[in-house]
Each structure stands twice: as C-alpha cells, then as structure tokens.
Structure 1
Amino acid sequence: MTSPLISTDNLHVHYGSIHALKGVTFQVNQGEIVSLIGANGAGKTTTLRALSGLIPSTGKIYFQEQDLSKVPTFKRVGLGIAQSPEGRGVFPLMSVEENLEMGAYSRKDKVEIKRDRDMCLELFPRLKERLWQMAGTMSGGEQQMLAISRALMSRPKILLLDEPSLGLAPLIVAQIFDIVKKLNQDGMTILLVEQNARMALKISHRAYVLETGKIVMQDSGSNLLNNDEVRKSYLGV
C-alpha cells in the first residue's frame, strides 16, 4: 500500500486560549480530491493554514513521509504544497500577469513557467482577456480563477483550495468546480475546504466532517452525500 501524499497525526492549533484544532488526524492520497466540511468555526481553514505553515501547530504533518514540523512556509511551497486562500487574496495593485509571475517566484525553469502560464490561461480564458488588468478591479469570480492559477504556477503536488465558491454566483461556482474536477482528472491532488458541502461531496473521493476542531466522521464523498446526519446538518435536507 502506498503512503499518503500528505497526512496529519494528532494536530493541535491554539489561538491564544482558543483550542481551534483538537487532535486532527487525516490523510490525502495521491490523485484524490478530499474535502473537509463543517460549520463555520469548525477548524477547516485552520487545518489548511497549519498544513501550509502559516500558523503554529503541534502534532505531526507529513508530506511524502517527510516531517514538516520545522519546515518554514516558503520551503513547503518548494516541496509542492500550494494554497489558494479563503477570500482569494490576489495582489490587487498587480496585473493578472504579475500575479501569475508571483505564483512562480520560487522557480527558475523559464520554459516550464511559460508552459504552466499558458495552461492556466487555457483553463481560464477570462484571465487571458484580462491579462494586464489590475487584479483588484476584477469580479469575484475572476479573482477566484486568478487565485487558483497563481497557486498552480508553483507547480504543486497538492493544491489546497479554501472556500473557492465563497460569494460567487451559481453559474461561476459551477465553472470553478468543473475546473477543479478537470485538474484532478489531469493528475492534481486536491484538498478542498468548502462551505457548499453538497458541491464538495459530489466531486470528492473522500471527505472528513469537522466539528469544533475534531473529525467526527469520514467516508467516501457519495456515502456522506447520502448520510442522513450529514444531509440534515450540512445539506439542509
């Protein structure tokens, strides 16, 4: 059996006196889409931020069997962990082109960087039309496309997607999720945090349910989609 691409063991995070993650243990295998679902404040974004090294944590995080405990954020990006953050976080006073360049800041392979840039513009034709537009003047959907593309420019082995549908019109949400599925079909491993649990579970191989910093349930995406407790608590049916 192959080892997971990324995994945690007894992961804890504190924000001052608040115990945000309480012994979270999970794994994502190569080629999977895995979702973390749960209510606001359950610890979903905190989990992604801990994996990226953006906040201190205790317990273990392993990436390709390497212990990341003392590995700083920028080196985690170099190893192959990229995050598209909640709220998109594009550089508003930079153009689309400049934002994409920032995504590749740690790379030196100019030919491959251009190839990845062209791939992103093929995935998101809207960005090609807006190449020299300031990112801060674009719509929410366009900024989300840019945030995902910027993360892809680091050529990650795993893409951490935090609330990609947040604040977007249903048509744009459907487009974003279609792209996520396509990326996965092309070989990208994805860990998805998403408030829209129904959409997330529909495209996920597996998922974990977080409640107040603890994993309370895990199963295949399709099983959780049909689980009565999940349907009542998170799907509104």
Structure 2
Amino acid sequence: MRNLVLLSFMLICGVVDAQIRDSIPSFVEDYYLVKDGDSLMIQLKEVAVLPKHKFTGQKDVHYYFWFKRKVFKAYPYAVLASKRIDSLHLRLSRIKSKRKKRAYVKRVQKYLEKELTDPLKKLTRTEGRVLLKLIHRQTGKTAYNNIKDLRSGWKAFWYNTTANLFKLSLKIKYDPAVVNEDYLIEDILQRAYIDEALPFQEPKLKMNYLEIVADKKGTVDVEEYKRMFAKQKKRRKKKKK
C-alpha cells in the first residue's frame, strides 16, 4: 500500500516547501488579444455557454487573470496525481510477489523524485493551496485523508502540522458552491474546458460543477487577493523604514 501514497507525499512535500512569494498582478500586461479575421462557415460542436463575467473594475480583471495563471499551473499536477493513483491501484492488483512490489515502489519513487520534486518546490503558497484543493477535486479525497487511509492517522497529523507552519492545511476541501476561491477555480476550469485550453479529466469528487458556475451568473469577487497584496505592501514599507 505504501506506493499508493508516494505521489501524494511528493505533492505534499513540494507544496509544504513552497516559499516563493506571490507576485502582485501587473496592471500593464496584456492578458488576452483579440484579432479581427475573415468570416468562416464551420460546423460547431455543442458546447455549454456560461454567463459573461461581471467585474467591478479594471483591477478586478487583472486579479482574476493573475489567479487564472495559478490554477493553470496547479491543475496538471492534480490531474497527474489522479492518473498515477489509478494506475498504481491497477498495477498493484496484478503484482503478487512482495519482492516485485518493493521493486516497483522504488522505481515509482525515483521517477517522482526526478520529475516532480523540483517543479513543485517552485509553486507559490497560493498555487500550493490551489493544488491541494484540486487534488481533492480530482482524487475524491483530501491529502490528509489519503495519508490517513493509506498510512496512519499519526502520519497524517504530523504532515498536516508541518503544512500548518506554512499556512497550508492538508485537510483543505474543495467546495465551489460555498467557498468563493473554489468557485473562482471552478469558473476558470469550466471556461478552460469549453475553450479546450485545459485537458478535461472526470473529477472523482462528484458535483454538478457546470451548474454551480452558471448559478453565480458571472460574478467575480477578488477582494481576498486585494487584501493579501495590501498586507504585503504594508510589510514592505515597514521593512524599508
């Protein structure tokens, strides 16, 4: 069972070690570009249509696209976590020998250390938090419950204690119908799926995600990020004095 949580541990360690400070959104950077073109008659696939975004000001647009980059960066790791856990379950069910299981564990561990550790350590704290939420969305379990179920409650307690030192929680859940940040994540994902900007993977945490996003009618609330950066600016001014 040990190798079932290797990926979770690597993801968690990378998130916990994330010490990169979130950078303030640029208000001069172009986040999107629209070009005029010739008319073209094509046959379109049936797609969902979501409400147009409602921003209270231009700054809100920049904060939204700043957060969108965070989601785009974290999402592939959550998709990978779900795929790896599924494949590990399948692979383990076919291995009878304990010796071969141990050898397989070592191969998986080396792969994860080589491919994931360095990229994950480059995540900011916000990206780490988003990743933990997306792991819950894609795998159906929080990082804490994955460790608790597959290792022990004691291991889960100590990993979560370490995460708390970096203002993260392995118990964090994904609830876009209630939590504003989770709704923003889901809004970004659903629109990315429609635009084919991100690959779709069926989440194991079952909810009517499209309906949740549609019910918000395009409302965008980024006040928590404004407050976060306002605090950063105050700390910087104090250090300069």
For the criterion TM > 0.5, the same-fold answer is no
| Structure with a larger share of its residues in strand | 1
Indicate the TM-score class for this superposition, using the shorter chain for normalisation.
Answer: under 0.3
RCO (CA 8 Å, sep 6+): is it higher in 1 or 2? 2
Q: TM-score, normalised by structure 1?
A: 0.25
| Structure with a larger share of its residues in helix | 2
Structure showing greater radius of gyration is 2
